[in-house]
Amino acid sequence: MQGSLSIGIDTSCYTTSVACTDGKSIVFSKGTMLSVAFGDRGLRQSEGLFQHIRQLPPMLSELLSSIDRDRVCCISVSAAPTAKPDSYMPVFLAGLGQAETIAAAFAVPLVRADHQSGHIRAALYGNEELLDCERFLAVHISGGTTDLLLVEPHRDEPYRIETIGCSTDLHAGQFVDRVGVALGLPFPAGKHLETLARQAKQKDVKLASAVKGTECSFSGAESAAQRLLHTVPDAELAYSVYDCLARTLVKLFENVKKTYGDLPVLVCGGVASSGLLRMMLKKRFSGKLLFGKPELSSDNAVGVALIGADRSAAWNR
């Protein structure tokens, strides 16, 4: 369908988001974070689901009123956290239910995607040359994942994604959030902790980086950071968190090279929106490193909408 539109819906653990794309440009994108009480470090799934149910309908109404509905070719939705068969979180049911209803009302196909694939596809926006690679490495760093992924991209079908490494305990985003909340910052703490880190005058505080093969651990570094509270300046402690993240990720990239060769590395997920972390990684890693647009690194529905557009284009070839 010429000029067709794909609508994307994503209801993750902390953001309600909708988007629309024509496959080349972003026609509409909006996201609203879920509310977390100050001092808390997260939400129960039931509370997250309830907030999505309240927030999603007006966002979809705004999207639908801003586009030509006759051009809609599919509805794409994050139905699960990852593409693994047993992947499930209740929060995604809010988006899935709305997507099924809209697809039926519009008499268009429903594309069931997943949150992680959406992050990868959003990071590929502007990095489309990777779609022509036989395979590339993606690292998904957020509050719920620290995954090293071997991706075989396909223009006509879902990407093949194999998890080849991960964190054995805390995820990168949890590390950031736990230290940030302990420093009195709001949750999620990423942008606030980065602002604080950029104020560091000395950068001598080093948190141990724990890497074994393609697995890493952040619990020891987080415990060490908690012990340093009020003994070193807050800004220096904040900087040490990003320094630890960067050193850990680079070690993982180098270890992956030993098995899979010098593959391009696509960095995606909410933690990847940090300009400070990007700068540190570029400085330390000599391989080909690519990032999505910062505004598309945090949770959003753009990648999910693009997956729908990709699938629709394949159907019409």
* pLDDT, tens digit (0-9, with 9 covering 90-100), for 220-262: 999 999 999 999 999 999 999 999 999 999 999 999 999 999 9
Cα(247)–Cα(208) distance, rounded to whole angstroms? 9
Each residue's pLDDT tens digit, 37-68: 988 888 999 999 999 999 999 999 999 999 99
Each residue's pLDDT tens digit, 23-32: 999 999 999 9
Cα(94)–Cα(54) distance, rounded to whole angstroms? 10
Cα(18)–Cα(8) distance, rounded to whole angstroms? 6
286: which 2 tokens? 């000599």
Please, where are the H alpha helices in 107-218?
Answer: 115-124, 172-182, 190-197
In this prediction, residue 159 has a pLDDT band, given cuts at 50, 70 and 90, of confident
Sign for the pseudo-dihedral over CA of 193, 51, 10, 4: negative
Check: CB of residue 5 under 8 Å from CB of residue 68: yes
Residues in CB range of 231: below 8 A, 6 or more apart:
none
pTM of the model: 0.94
Cα(88)–Cα(25) distance, rounded to whole angstroms? 30
Give the model's pLDDT for residue 156. 65
Each residue's pLDDT tens digit, 75-127: 999 999 999 999 999 999 999 999 999 999 999 999 999 999 999 999 999 99
User: Quick one: average pLDDT of 204-217?
Assistant: 97
Please state, rounded to an integer, the average pLDDT across all residues of the chain. 95
317: which 2 tokens? 């070839």
User: Quick one: average pLDDT of 281-306?
Assistant: 96
Please, where are the H alpha helices in the chain?
Answer: 45-65, 92-106, 115-124, 172-182, 190-197, 219-228, 234-260, 275-284, 302-315
Each residue's pLDDT tens digit, 133-147: 899 999 999 999 999
Write the burial class of residue 105 (CB in 10 Å: 0-12 exposed, 13-18 middle, 19+ buried): exposed
Mind listing the domains of the chain with CATH numbers?
Answer: 5-126+297-315 (3.30.420.40), 165-291 (3.30.420.40)
Longest CA pairwise span in the chain (Å): 63
Give the model's pLDDT for residue 3. 67
Give the model's pLDDT for residue 131. 87
Give the model's pLDDT for residue 1. 46
Check: CB of residue 142 under 8 Å from CB of residue 270: yes
Percentage of the residues of the chain whose pLDDT score is greater than 90: 92
